[in-house]
Structure 1
Amino acid sequence: MEQRRTALVIGGGIGGLTAAVALDRRGWSVTVVERAAALAPVGAGIALAPNAQRALDTIEVGDAVRATADWQGAGELRLPGGRRLARTDNAAAVRRFGGPVVVAHRAELVALLAARLPEGAVRTHATATLVDPGDPGPGGRPARVRIAVPDAAAADDGDNARADRTSNDGDTATATHTRTATDLELSADLVVAADGIHSAVRRAVFPGHPAPRYAGFTAWRFVVPAPDGVRGVAHETWGPGGVWGTVPLAGGRIYAYATAAVPAGGRAVDDERAELLRRFGAWHHPVPALLDAVGPAEVLRNDVYTAAAPPPAFHHGRVALLGDAVHPMTPNLGQGGCQAVEDAVVLAHEAAPDADLGAALAAYTRQRLPRTMEVVRRAERIGRLTTWRSRPACALRAGLMAATARLAPDLALRALDEIADWRPPAGTYAAGARGTRTAARREEQE
């Protein structure tokens, strides 16, 4: 039996797991290495625009996501006192982009993706370090990665160990490991770096490339059961130097997020819930009710970073980078996770098991670099608008938003033109053909 090509995915987030599933379906033997002790992402929601859903459809995950997600009927843009500036709905998104926006819980999306990988494909509590990016040319050397594991997880079967893994279709993938103390060294035909904003792999392959820079604001997130009196309408409220967003999730839950223009690296003097109360506690309903419903330990805070400059490429040697590892972006378009999912399915499409890997990775860069950098720029422009503080500037911003909404309601979605209407290079089994759940829901909204 011909041995399958091996792929090592560094990072068990949404982008990394999507790449792992897509590559597994293409015939690769895939291992995912995640430094956390478990695939347990922080509790937050993720908006999946039509482009991301189509990408997930190519690996037959889209319908499962839609079945567990909340379908956003409408969205509103407001001011802190409650005045509504604009309103849009999913019917407008369907008209403009060919599909609706759904919002899922990140943990549930991760679970759906992980469940589609062969047993044993994910290795947690393991830190990966790229040793050699390898050479993708004919007969070129493989990439090498050192994996640090806790003492208790280290195998005790001698200096050299062979690990066999059987996939769902009965093929067996074999990797040879060289271990010193608690380190394993793995070789792979392809390494996928999905190791986040502060990617160690990116620094290793592009040491002179500028690191992501602070975007000028920080973000808070939490998920709570919907308090009494909180209806299921998504809204985003823009105030001086800050934004509050409320999004319904399936199962009667609410995903809330906020941003504020503050110096990087800050932390509340007491707790982050108290910080949110100080900044947003006097804003319109349901903001105070949501803050009353959340515990201090349930509020997550993260500084927001964006790409400082386009990278030289999205690949080097046998290494492909995707998601935040190569194009971190502000959350203002809701496209960070969506673009990572796109990256993953395009990479798998180009990297057929029998393809010339060098040519495949070059094609991946050609397709993904210009597109994602445009999304980075658009998101950053909107992010800068949210940091305006002065009363005249905020009044001007509100007036322009309200005028746009009156003249052409669908134009509120134009920031996603040529983004949300993207289609993957491979056909999607549920991209709108009659008889699918996607098509049925679309017809209902139309």
Structure 2
Amino acid sequence: MEIVEDIVIVGAGISGLTTSLGLHRLGIRSLVLESWDRLRITGFAFTTWNNAWKALDALGIGESLRQQHDLTPSILVASTFLVQPASEISFKGHEVRCLQRRLLLEALANELPRGTIRFSSKVVSIEESGCFKRVHLADGTVLKAKVLIGCDGVNSVVAKWLGLEKPVFTGRSAIRGYTKFEGGHGFGPKFRQFVGKGVRSGFLPCNDEYVYWFLTWTPSTKEEELEDDPVKLKQFVLNKLEDTPDDMKLVVEKTRLDSIASSPLRYRRPWELLRGNISKGNVCVAGDALHPMTPDLGQGGCSALEDGVILARCLARVMSISKSADEEEEEYKRIEMGLRSFAQKRRWRSFDLIATGYVVGFIQQNSGMVMNFLRDKFFSRFLPGMLLRKADFDCGKLEY
């Protein structure tokens, strides 16, 4: 069975749903394909900075999410290598919150028309068909799309079709968790981070009850085998936290086993964005399919929100309904120009975030004595300011 669709978005994650909602706000329908049978809420939570909230406000869902997540006033950075007091950097004048991924995805999905998301729809291949792309699904369905957008993550089928190389392993891994404290945790809203001895860890409350935590480290071959065993993962994290305060240990201890996940950290080599195809004809990528990056700037999810708003605006400017077969080629050219405009707007922004995040992660997690000293004495003073500068980006409003 072959179905004709104007815009097909692969992946119902942050960038996919943001793009679809942005298009919907501008009066344009899209179809979102999700390989899972439900919204994928892995990752638990993530830090949202000014740029993310500007995107959420543009979509019209910022205020409802603010009501469910506390404002983070500052970050406390402590060393586990040198004996020195923690330094506190204020976020005054900036909007920083820890956003629950489930609530974000549900907020995006609930604003879309019924039938926009097609679950259990895994893409297995893509082929040319004149001015269209034929998208083959695992269930035998074939979609004929005027526009194909890949928001399908680090293992993107669409990115592969565009010729982009697979993201590479950084040599580092992350364990993340999510803890609920019945009756309240009592930690206050501050972001706490601990660095030293090749490990970076921290926790950040989402609200009075929920706390998100993380640990990144450089695994040995034996430690990589922990990824599928939450019991071993939890014990491993606690062992790594021997030099951190009791609050950090308590957050991990109270985490349920089904709320712990581990993953290798991968990134796209930034120079590939300068020479590779972000868009080609009527196909493009966004979100992690475009710019997988390490979590050291806290900009992965935030930049995916930027992508969605900008992409929706670029497409809305060029999309039109064509009834005549003679107009198909002209419409294809307009779509190509719109996607090329998106690629131009996102190329250097993505390059900057990927490259800076990689360098910051290398410095923070380096286990050398000299690097530890320089980081704790000097670099830690400048890092929060760098995080805020990278978040000082405005994706603009949904208008054209």
- TM-score in terms of structure 1 length: 0.78
Per-residue Cα deviation, 1:387-431 (whole angstroms, up to 9, x for no partner): 2112332122111146x37xxxxx7313442x3221124369xxx
CA distance in 1, matches of 2:67, 2:198: 36
* Cα deviation code 1:193-239 (max 9, x no counterpart): 00101112111221xx4321111210011111247554432111101
SS in 2 for 1:146: strand
**What is the CA deviation profile of residues 175-208 of structure 1, one whole-angstrom value per residue up to 9, with x for unaligned ones?**
xxxxxxx3100111111100101112111221xx
3-state DSSP class of the match of 2:178?
Answer: strand
CA contact (8 A) 1:88 1:412 kept: yes
Residue 202 of structure 2 contacts residue 214 of structure 2 at CA under 8 Å; is this kept in 1?
yes
The one of 209, 215, 226 aligned to 2:170:
215
Q: Could you tell me which residue of structure 1 aligns to residue 252 of structure 2?
A: 291
Letter paired with 1:422: F
What pairs up with 1:108-123 in 2 under 5 angstroms? Answer: 108-123=103-118
Gaps of 5+ in 2: 321-330
| Cα distance in 2 for residues equivalent to 1:263 and 1:322 | 32
- Alignment counterpart, residue 392 of structure 2, candidates 421, 425, 431: 421
Q: Is the 8 A contact 1:196 1:325 kept in 2?
A: yes
1:233-282 CA-to-partner distances (Å, cap 9, x unmatched) read: 21111011111111001241110111001147813276210111121144
Q: Work out whether residues 58 and 396 of structure 2, in 8 Å CA contact, stay in contact via their aligned partners in 1.
A: no
| C-alpha RMSD of matched pairs (Å) | 2.3
Q: 1:371 aligns with which of 349, 352, 357?
A: 349
Work out whether 1:383 is the aligned partner of 2:361.
yes
196-205 or 227-236, larger mean C-alpha shift: 227-236
1:141 aligns with 2:131: yes
What is the 5 A alignment of 1:315-330?
Answer: 315-330=279-294
The answer as to 2:272 corresponding to 1:310 is: yes
User: In 1, distance between residues paired with 2:74 and 2:67?
Assistant: 18
Give the 5 Å matches for 1:387-402.
Answer: 387-401=365-379
Structure of larger gyration radius: 1
Secondary structure of the corresponding residue to residue 186 of structure 1: strand
> C-alpha displacement at 1:20, in angstroms?
0.8
CA contact (8 A) 2:47 2:96 kept: yes
Name the counterpart of 2:323: none
1:41-60 alignment runs, 5 A limit: 41-42=41-42, 44-60=44-60
Instruction: Please give the per-residue CA displacement for 1:15-74, whole angstroms capped at 9, x wherever unaligned.
Output: 111011011222222111111121140252121111111112222122222222221022
| Structure 1 residue 27 corresponds to structure 2 residue 22 | no
Structure 1 residue aligned with 2:324 = none
Are 2:280 and 2:336, in contact at CA under 8 Å, matched by a contact in 1?
no
1:195 is the counterpart of 2:185: no
CA distance in 2, matches of 1:37, 1:263: 34
Structure 1 distance, partners of 2:286, 2:297, is: 18
Distance in 2, matches of 1:364 and 1:340, equals 13
Return the offset for 1:133.
5.2
- 1:52 is paired with a residue of what secondary structure? helix
Name the CA distance, whole Å, in 2 between partners of 1:395 and 1:310. Answer: 33
How many percent identity over aligned positions? 23
Contact 1:330 1:376 in 2 (8 A): yes
CA distances 1:75-134 after superposition (whole Å, capped 9, x unpaired): 11112378444212221xx2xxxx411221000000000001101111111201342256
Distance 1:70 1:267, change over 3 A: farther
